[in-house]
């Protein structure tokens, strides 16, 4: 035998030692499946070395009589390794199948909920977006989408707000939730509601925002239709209020007109008999002008209330002025009912932010309700209107000496069409409350401990109190 064969056999020995060591290590540190692999793969290689190196050595040394056939042992090893790798491939196939199934499930549920799912890679500014999401935003069905595509499809009115919210979510809160408009490629506008959450991985240095978007155009449309209907109802109730006030208004107009007539007749007579001095005539003319102004003011107020202008001018208003203007409108009604009117107006109040006609409408409603309540109870009839300041709001409170609000109707007072009056529409308080909330204010009702009811308007201020 060639002496170099010993070197080959030594190499096989080193190889054997290496494989035994690797298999033992894997057995000690590995998981259950790796232990199995250490036995199967390690064992088969060890067997192969023994068969392919030791056996021929023994045969060559004349110690054993056996056919020289190492390739058979090699096939055994290949079979074992093949089996092991085949198992891994099968596992991978099963995993990818279950991944596919859960992806399909996710796609189906987002599709059913009409949700467009997306993931924004904040650092790379790239965007992954589901097929439904692409359809929602009017993006092409394939191709890369980045943040610029998203910002470009936003309605210019909402662009700033959305960018601010996105920045706030990325730099702090981690959450994004917004309703905004997008402009589709055909120019139409769609309302979208989106929520998202930032996920930062400091170790990998990645920041992602995951989220979903939903088409809410239909809801916005019905909301705006409801708003139009609400405005029309508010207008109708105002017109019916004016109908109720017609007698009062006619009387209010009659008074300055009568005064104008009698003043002009006096002046004429004075001129005729030549007794009036120029100073007296000037006084008479001043009176006439003042009465004409008052009549003009009443007509102006009526016209403003009748106007069907849905856009409300929210302007700074003096709350005490509003009270005085309403009392002018209701002047003869109050005289007719022989009411004691007590005014407690706080002169240091800030201006309030509201629509003039609308606030007047609410106050007229409250005063007319108070007058109705007062007429239900005999005894001293008192109406008290007080203005004040409470919890950052200006308050206008209407106190009456009526029977108060029965406890069983307290929770229904503001319900539309709730009325305890014969022929009552039951819309006054419902509309008054919605008008108040339109200006960020409130309308509250309570019973006065001293008797009667109190209704309080709370209005946003235009500036802090003086
Ligand atoms: P309407 O005046 O047509 O009944 P409102 O919405 O103005 O409709 O009022 C609803 C109900 O609230 C009234 O029918 C009445 O029962 C009650 N209410 C309103 N104001 C007062 C008040 N000042 N005192 C007692 N009850 C009141």
Which DSSP string do the residues of 247-311 spell out, in sequence order?
HHHHHHHHHHHHHHHHHHHHHHHHHHHT---HHHHHHHHHHHHHHHHHHHHHHHHHHHHH----S
Place of tokens 């650092």: 123
The predicted-structure confidence for 137-147, as pLDDT tens digits, reads as follows: 999 998 888 88
Pairing status of strand 382-390 against strand 340-344: parallel
Average pLDDT, integer, range 40-57: 83
Atom of ligand 1 nearest to the CA of 431: 6
Query: Does residue 53 surpass a pLDDT of 80?
Result: no
The predicted-structure confidence for 252-276, as pLDDT tens digits, reads as follows: 677 788 889 988 998 898 888 887 7
The CA-atom distances, in angstroms, between 136 and each of 118, 187, 188, 280, 395 are: 11, 14, 12, 79, 47
| Residue nearest atom 13 of ligand 1, based on CA coordinates | 419
Question: How far is the centre of ligand 1, averaged over its atoms, from the C-alpha of 413 (Å)?
Answer: 7
The predicted-structure confidence for 322-372, as pLDDT tens digits, reads as follows: 999 888 778 767 777 778 899 999 999 999 999 888 898 899 889 989 999
**What is the rounded average pLDDT for all residues in the chain?**
87
Query: Does residue 465 surpass a pLDDT of 60?
Result: no
Question: How far is the centre of ligand 1, averaged over its atoms, from the C-alpha of 56 (Å)?
Answer: 112
Q: Which of 361, 362, 372, 454 to probe ligand 1 with, by most ligand atoms within 8 A of CB?
A: 372
Structure tokens at 366: 């409250």
Average pLDDT, integer, range 201-210: 83
Q: Which residues pair with 189 in a beta bridge?
A: 183
In this prediction, residue 223 has a pLDDT band, given cuts at 50, 70 and 90, of confident
The CA-atom distances, in angstroms, between 240 and each of 51, 81, 250, 384, 441 are: 109, 93, 15, 25, 24
Quote the strand ranges of 125-248, DSSP E: 126-129, 145-146, 175-183, 189-201, 206-215
Q: Is the CB of 447 under 6 A from ligand 1?
A: no
| Residue nearest atom 21 of ligand 1, based on CA coordinates | 369
Average pLDDT, integer, range 46-68: 80
Question: How far is the centre of ligand 1, averaged over its atoms, from the C-alpha of 445 (Å)?
Answer: 10
Atom of ligand 1 nearest to the CA of 369: 20
Q: Is the CB of 429 under 6 A from ligand 1?
A: yes
Q: Which of 429, 435, 453 to probe ligand 1 with, by most ligand atoms within 8 A of CB?
A: 429
The predicted-structure confidence for 399-435, as pLDDT tens digits, reads as follows: 999 999 999 999 999 998 889 988 788 888 988 898 8
In this prediction, residue 309 has a pLDDT band, given cuts at 50, 70 and 90, of low
- Residue 407 DSSP one-character state: G
Q: What pLDDT is stored for residue 204 in this prediction?
A: 75
Atom of ligand 1 nearest to the CA of 419: 14
Q: Which contacts of 164-173 are long-range, i.e. CB under 8 A and separated by 24 or more positions?
A: 169/196, 169/198, 169/209, 170/122, 170/198, 170/207, 170/209
Q: What is the pTM of this model?
A: 0.53
Q: Is the CB of 419 under 6 A from ligand 1?
A: yes
Q: What pLDDT is stored for residue 311 in this prediction?
A: 61
Place of tokens 């009456």: 400
Q: Is the CB of 364 under 6 A from ligand 1?
A: no
Question: How far is the centre of ligand 1, averaged over its atoms, from the C-alpha of 202 (Å)?
Answer: 62
Q: Is the dihedral of CA 354, 357, 358, 362 positive or negative?
A: positive
Q: What pLDDT is stored for residue 466 in this prediction?
A: 53
Query: Does residue 40 surpass a pLDDT of 80?
Result: yes
Structure tokens at 29: 């540190």
The upper half-sphere exposure of residue 95, i.e. CA atoms within 13 Å in the direction of its Cβ, equals 6
Average pLDDT, integer, range 108-126: 87
Q: Which of 243, 244, 419 to probe ligand 1 with, by most ligand atoms within 8 A of CB?
A: 419
Average pLDDT, integer, range 301-319: 76
């Amino acid at each position: 035998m060639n002496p170099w064969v010993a070197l080959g056999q030594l190499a096989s020995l080193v190889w054997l030692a290496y494989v035994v060591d690797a298999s033992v290590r894997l057995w000690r540190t590995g998981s259950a499946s790796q232990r199995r692999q250490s036995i199967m793969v390690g064992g088969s290689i060890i067997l192969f070395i023994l068969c392919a190196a030791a056996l021929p050595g023994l045969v060559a040394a004349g110690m054993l009589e056996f056919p020289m056939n190492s390739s058979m042992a090699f096939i055994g090893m290949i079979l074992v390794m093949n089996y092991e790798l085949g198992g891994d491939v099968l596992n991978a196939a099963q995993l990818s199948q279950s991944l596919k199934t859960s992806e399909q499930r996710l796609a189906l549920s987002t599709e059913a909920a009409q949700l467009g799912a997306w993931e924004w890679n904040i650092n790379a500014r790239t965007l992954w977006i589901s097929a439904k999401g692409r359809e929602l935003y009017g993006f092409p069905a394939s191709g890369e989408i980045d943040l610029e595509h998203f910002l470009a499809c936003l309605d210019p009115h909402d662009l700033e707000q959305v960018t601010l919210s996105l920045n706030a979510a990325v730099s702090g809160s981690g959450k994004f939730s917004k309703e905004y408009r997008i402009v589709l490629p055909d120019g139409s506008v769609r309302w979208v509601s989106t929520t998202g959450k930032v996920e930062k991985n400091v170790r990998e240095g990645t920041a992602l925002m995951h989220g979903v978007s939903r088409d809410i155009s239909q809801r916005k449309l019905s909301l705006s239709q409801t708003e139009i209907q609400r405005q029309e109802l508010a207008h109708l109730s105002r017109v019916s209020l004016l109908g109720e006030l017609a007698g009062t208004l006619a009387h209010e107009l009659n008074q300055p007109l009568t005064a104008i007539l009698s003043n002009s007749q006096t002046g004429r007579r004075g001129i005729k008999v030549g007794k009036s001095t120029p100073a007296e005539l000037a006084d008479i003319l001043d009176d006439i002008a003042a009465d004409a102004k008052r009549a003009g003011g009443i007509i102006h107020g009526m016209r403003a209330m009748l106007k069907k202008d849905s856009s409300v001018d929210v302007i700074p208003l003096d709350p005490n002025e509003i009270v005085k203007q309403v009392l002018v409108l209701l002047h003869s009604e109050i005289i007719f009912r022989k009411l004691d009117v007590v005014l407690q107006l706080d002169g240091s109040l800030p201006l309030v932010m509201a629509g003039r006609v609308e606030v007047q409408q609410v106050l007229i409603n409250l005063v007319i309700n108070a007058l109705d309540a007062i007429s239900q109870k005999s005894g001293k009839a008192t109406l008290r209107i007080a203005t004040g300041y409470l919890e950052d709001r200006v308050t206008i409170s209407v106190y009456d000496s009526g029977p108060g609000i029965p406890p069983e109707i307290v929770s229904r007072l503001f319900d539309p069409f709730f009325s305890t009056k014969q022929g009552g529409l039951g819309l006054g308080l419902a509309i008054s409350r919605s008008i108040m909330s339109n200006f960020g204010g409130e309308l509250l009702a309570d019973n006065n401990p001293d008797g009667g009811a109190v209704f309080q308007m709370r209005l946003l201020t235009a500036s802090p109190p003086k």
